[in-house]
């Protein structure tokens, strides 16, 4: 899961502190939205370690488990220039397999990867554009609004829109990990997505993992 302050862990929200319930409600009212569920510790399990890097749960950074990474790696291998946004665990396996990839993450502990590029989700001034044919993204569920996520991903490909009901020629395939309990909200923002497979994480409780799914705009890959 993408870290909100530095990694994909990797996306960086405007504020690095969790909002209490009153602040969340006040912000939601200003934006004309219903307030979401209060944010709190995502898990009480011990952080997992991958390639010598320990998860930072304060930043909603979670690694996919080995079976999940193996399945996603097969999908990844079908693309010429996939962009991995906040998915360092997949990038580690892509590097080992010799597959092409670019990892965008704010967690510089992953700078040892050849495809690493430091990237903060909400830093408009430093947003690069990429010629990619797929985007794999595991965003933080609690601290990033879906419309903010869509705007950030759209900027990365230099497009006017991304993930809409009608795809434009050359639009990269989109893969987003998300909580199925919030599927309706996700599909309002990304109507091209469809639920394709359940995801597993190294340090997320089974009850929670049952709701974590991969959504894709290209369901045949």
Q: Whole-prediction pTM value?
A: 0.79
The reported pLDDT for the residue numbered 221 is 46
Per-residue confidence (pLDDT) for residue 219, from 0 to 100: 61
Greatest Cα pair distance in the chain: 48
Residue-range domain boundaries for the chain: 21-216
pLDDT, block means (10 residues), the chain with 221 residues: 42 35 40 43 81 89 96 97 96 97 94 94 72 93 85 84 69 95 95 95 93 86 46
pLDDT digits (tens, 9 = 90+) for 131-164: 999 999 999 877 788 999 999 999 898 876 677 7
What is the 3-class SS of 191-211, one letter each residue? CCCEEEEECCECCCCHHHHCC
Element (H, E) at 24: helix 21-30
pLDDT at 20: 38
Task: Note the CATH number of domain 21-216.
Answer: 3.40.50
Residue 126 confidence (pLDDT):
64
**pLDDT confidence of residue 160:** 63
Considering only CA atoms, which of 54, 62, 157, 161 is closest in space to residue 102?
Answer: 157
Identify the pLDDT of residue 189: 94
- What confidence score (pLDDT) does residue 165 get? 65
Please report the pLDDT score of residue 77 as a whole number.
96
C-alpha 104/C-alpha 88 separation (Å) is 8
Q: What is the rounded CA–CA span in Å between residue 14 and residue 18?
A: 11
The structure tokens listed for 10 are 């990797």
User: For tokens 């990867």, what's the residue?
Assistant: 113
């Amino acid at each position: 899961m993408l870290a909100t302050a530095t990694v994909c862990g990797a996306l960086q929200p405007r504020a690095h502190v969790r909002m209490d319930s009153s602040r969340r409600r006040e912000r939601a009212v200003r934006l004309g939205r219903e307030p979401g569920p209060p944010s709190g510790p995502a898990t009480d399990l011990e952080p997992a370690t991958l390639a010598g890097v320990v998860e930072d749960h304060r930043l909603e950074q979670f690694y996919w488990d080995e079976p999940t990474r193996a399945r996603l790696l097969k999908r990844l291998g079908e693309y010429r220039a996939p962009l991995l946004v906040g998915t360092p665990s997949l990038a580690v396996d892509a590097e080992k397999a010799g597959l092409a990839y670019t990892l965008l993450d704010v967690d510089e502990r992953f700078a040892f990867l050849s495809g690493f590029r430091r990237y903060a989700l909400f830093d408009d001034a430093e947003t690069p554009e990429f010629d990619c044919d797929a985007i794999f993204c595991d965003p933080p569920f609690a601290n990033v609004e879906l419309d903010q996520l869509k705007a950030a991903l759209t900027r990365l490909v230099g497009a006017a829109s991304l993930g809409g009901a009608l795809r434009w020629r050359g639009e990269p395939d989109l893969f987003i990990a998300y909580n199925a309990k919030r599927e309706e909200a996700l599909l309002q923002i990304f109507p091209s997505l469809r639920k394709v497979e359940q995801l597993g994480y190294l340090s997320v409780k089974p009850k929670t993992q049952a709701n974590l799914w991969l959504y894709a705009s290209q369901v045949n890959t």
